[in-house]
Amino acid sequence: MDEFAFRRGVRYGTILVDIESRRPVVVLPDRTSDTLAGWLHDHPGVEVVCRNRASAYARAVKEAAPQAIEVADRRHLLRSFSLAVEKNCHEHRPCL
C-alpha cells in the first residue's frame, strides 16, 4: 500500500497492490486509517502488508488486520537508510 496524489497538495488516495501479481487491487479515495481499516475489515484474508512508515497505515493494520505481518518496501527502506546516513555524516562532518 502507498499513497498517491489525485491532486498534489489537495487530495490524496491510497492504492493497494497485490505484490505477487503486481496488479492493483483497489484505489481508496483517501489516505486515512479509517478508510483503510474499513477495507481490511471487509477483506479478512490479508496475511502480509507491505507499507510505508505512515502512522495512519500502521493504525489501520493494527486495528483491522492484527494477524498480518508488516514489512517495509524497498523504496521506503532505502529512503530511510539514506536519510540516516546523511544525518550521521552531517553530525560527524568535523571528524571527516
Report the pLDDT value the prediction gives residue 17, as an integer from 0 to 100.
Answer: 93
Report the pLDDT value the prediction gives residue 11, as an integer from 0 to 100.
Answer: 94
Report the pLDDT value the prediction gives residue 96, as an integer from 0 to 100.
Answer: 75
Report the pLDDT value the prediction gives residue 60, as an integer from 0 to 100.
Answer: 96
Report the pLDDT value the prediction gives residue 52, as an integer from 0 to 100.
Answer: 84
How many domains is the chain partitioned into structurally?
A: 1
SS3 string, the chain, reads CEEEEEECCCEEEEEEEECCCCEEEEEECCCCHHHHHHHHHHCCCCCEEEECCCHHHHHHHHHHCCCCEEEECHHHHHHHHHHHHHHHHHHCCCCC
**Residue 75 within a domain:** yes
**Residue 73 within a domain:** yes
Report the pLDDT value the prediction gives residue 65, as an integer from 0 to 100.
Answer: 96
For residue 26, what are the domain limits?
2-91
pTM for this model (two decimals): 0.77
**Residue 65 within a domain:** yes
Report the pLDDT value the prediction gives residue 62, as an integer from 0 to 100.
Answer: 96
Answer for the pair 57, 1: CB distance below 8 angstroms, yes or no: yes
Average pLDDT per run of 10 along the chain, which is 96 residues long? 91 93 95 96 94 90 96 86 94 87
**Residue 96 within a domain:** no
